[in-house]
Amino acid sequence: MYLQQIGTYWDTRAQGYSMTIHEQLEGEEYSFFSNLLKTCAPAGQGLSCLDIGCGPGFFSILLAQMGHKVTAFDYSEGMLSQAQENFAEMGVEVKVQQGDAQKLPFADNSFDYIVSRNLVWNLEQPEQAYREWLRVLKSGGKLFIADANHYLFYFDNDYMHSRLVREATSNNHTHGVDPTPINEIARDLPLSRVLRPKWDIDKLLELGMVQIAVDVKHNHVTVPETGEDKAIISDFYLSAEKPSGAPKFSPEEEQRRINEKWTKVSDNYCKIINDELSSFRAEAWTKKILENAPKKKSMDILDAGCGPGFFSILLSQAGHRLIGLDGAEGMLNHACGNAKKFGVSPIFMQGDCHALPFADNSFDLVISRNVTHAILNHEQVYSQWQRVLRPDGVLLIFDANWHLMHTDAHIRKDFFHREEECFKVYGSNFSGGEQEVKDCEALSWHRLGTVKRPDWDVPLLRQAGFEDISYERDIIDGLWDDKEKLLYGAMPMFMISARKPK
């Protein structure tokens, strides 16, 4: 619908963008992106590379200077004309081709390395584009995306505040071209409405990509109403690999493997919650939950991802009707044994939060602890939780940014040092410390990337139909002991509260 208009607009911006990349070729962007492109590339010399949405040719020049065979591809004839001039000026040989990034004119398995900068946000069919890109990428080939949440400010107040501050303090880079046409088009583009790179990670995983790694840059914004400082994702850099004939697991198979993993560790988690049930934490957690729950004498409660039954047991003891749901058989076996030990009878059943086996409007309260960082599809799960809640029912999510152990080397390093300090102070540990760090290093990506929660969850919950969404970033006082605070202080537990409309 907008393809021709988008192409025409970028024709008008081509000369100005060419001036910009000349500055970048002589600035810090040159070494920054050269290093990134080298790091994310597959092994080998003379790689066949496709620069999609090449613009005036910045990435193409860098790759050609590395000795690779490069095809520069763009829909805008104006951009390609500027790119050819820049290739000649820089003395590099690059093939140039015009076309639509959503319908590539190349055969399957044509390229070793596909790169793109500030293009995907601009597409009307980004998922179709990714399918095409992976089609022409060879097995074992790599994909590198540099992009940003350019137009999320239309739909997110924090991004709007950040934009207003940036506009007041930065220079205009449109070189006299009126940006109104692309601004109006961007309102209707699908990726203007979603937080990235979460969307990209999910889609690439669905399409079978592996070894996904993400780095992000943050802007800090002060919320005018509260004075709160927030970090929001601006730019991001994502790489992924097309597997070499490896089978792609279906969502069902992936969920089964996740459940098996949790069953294997269920003995350790059972020991942990037995310690919790016999400590100050039992009363503290009960108080925390009920302070934020609907004010009913007896509630129907779903403990989603119940594990060995901690919340189910506590709230059964408080006189409420509980169903504890978990996908891991080992966790449920322990939950049944623990409930019997503590003299209560919640119902425990095996199931998947992505497809709850309950009727609409079944529960007054849905709770979860340390579950949401591990689920496959947050949009789907949040919609399911909203569906089974009664009108005016409440969702309480307790979790932490555990995924950063996989994606943030500084967090892993800090955790390891905290583990050592914990051993010095208390003479023991309970986390598996060094091995836990090694496990995270071995799997150095996570579907959540480097997003910062709970801010990230808010638009997803709103999209699922919740209202009155609020959160506390750090609830560890009164719920964790000093040992836990020392060990996990870099990733404090947060609480999100959301309500289903009446």
pLDDT given at position 446: 59
Q: Read off the pLDDT band of 436 (50, 70, 90).
A: very low
Q: Give the largest Cα separation in the chain, rounded.
A: 80
For the whole model, what pTM was predicted? Answer: 0.56
Query: Which tokens belong to 494?
Result: 């947060």
Give percent of the chain with pLDDT exceeding 90. 56
Q: Which two tokens stand for residue 89?
A: 């000026």
The stretch 282-289 carries a mean pLDDT of 97
Q: Decide if pLDDT at 441 tops 90.
A: no
**387 or 196, which is more confident:** 387
Beta strands 347-350; 321-326: pairing state: parallel
**Which of the listed ranges 11-20, 49-58, 243-252 does the model predict with the highest average pLDDT?**
49-58
Confidence of residue 339 (pLDDT cuts 50, 70, 90): very high
Peptide bond between residue 454 and the one before it cis (omega within 30 degrees of 0): yes
Q: Which residue has the higher pLDDT, 491 or 364?
A: 364
| Predicted local confidence at residue 482, as pLDDT | 87
Q: Report helix, strand or coil for 113.
A: strand
What order do you get walking across the sheet with 111-117 strand by strand?
A: 95-98, 69-74, 48-52, 111-117, 137-148, 229-241, 210-222
Residue-wise pLDDT for 92-140, tens only, equals 999 999 999 999 999 889 999 999 999 998 888 899 999 999 999 999 9
Q: Are 326 and 307 in contact (CB under 8 A)?
A: yes
Using an 8 Å Cβ cutoff, are 474 and 495 in contact? Answer: no
**Residues linked to residue 103 through DSSP beta bridges, in sequence order:** 100
- Position 188 scores a pLDDT of 79
Do residues 108 and 132 touch, judged by C-beta distance below 8 A? no
Separation in Å, CA 317 to CA 257, 277, 326, 344, 390: 33, 11, 20, 7, 23
Is residue 24 within 8 Å of 80, Cβ to Cβ?
no
CA pair distance 131, 250, nearest whole angstrom: 17
Enter the DSSP assignment of 8: H
Q: Which of 146-155, 210-219, 459-468 has the highest mean pLDDT?
A: 459-468
pLDDT, residue 431, reads 47
Q: What is the pLDDT of residue 222?
A: 72
Q: What is the pLDDT of residue 438?
A: 47
Q: Which CATH superfamily is domain 3-241 in?
A: Vaccinia Virus protein VP39 (3.40.50.150)
Listed range (85-89, 96-100, 160-164, 352-356) with the worst mean pLDDT: 160-164
Is the pLDDT score of 277 beyond 80?
Answer: yes
Provide the CATH number for the domain formed by 251-401+452-499 in this structure: 3.40.50.150
**3-241 and 251-401+452-499 agree in CATH topology:** yes
Percent of the chain with pLDDT over 70: 87
DSSP summary character for residue 103: B
Domain ranges of the chain: 3-241, 251-401+452-499, 402-450
Q: Which two tokens stand for residue 378?
A: 């947050």
The angle, 0 to 180 degrees and rounded to 10, between the axes of the packed helices 28-40 and 3-25 is 110
